Amino acid sequence: MSNTIRRRNTHTAHERGWGHQAPTSRQRRRPTARPMQPKPEASDLVTSHAVLRWLERVEGDQAIRQRIENLILADGRAELIETVHDGRIRVAGTRTTLVIRGGCVVDVILENGRG
């Protein structure tokens, strides 16, 4: 064999007609550029989950429960909740509706749809 003739398996990808070469291991590890993220606004810094955990762990479950019960049970609503058993009660003077299931308040809905 002469020096000008190569064996078939020694040809490069380009010489074989693939049109490109496989990326090297260094090229594969290079991270892709990420677009700049907009700076979060103050309201985006704390998630709803974090608020719930704060209330649960810092304020305490019993303290929160007591505050809610004081607001909900005012004006004889306790008897109304027991009577309704399953349904909704709108709290007078607020934009709040209480969702009742099995004689317990299970959700609070605001007029604008948040809850």
Segments of the chain assigned E as strands:
87-90, 96-101, 104-110
Consecutive H or E run containing 72: helix 61-72
- Residue 88: the pLDDT is 92
Does the pTM surpass 0.75? The reply is no
Spatial contact of 72 and 50, defined as CB atoms under 8 Å apart: no
Distance CA 74, CA 32 (A): 59
Percentage of the chain beyond pLDDT 70 is: 66
Question: Which tokens belong to 78?
Answer: 């306790």
Say what the pLDDT of residue 99 is.
92
Question: Region 60-87: what's the mean pLDDT?
Answer: 84
pLDDT at 9: 62
The yes-or-no verdict on residue 20 having pLDDT over 80 is no
**What is the mean predicted confidence (pLDDT) over 24-34?**
63
Task: In whole angstroms, give the CA distance from residue 77 to residue 92.
Answer: 11
pLDDT at position 68 is: 80
d(CA 69, CA 63): 10
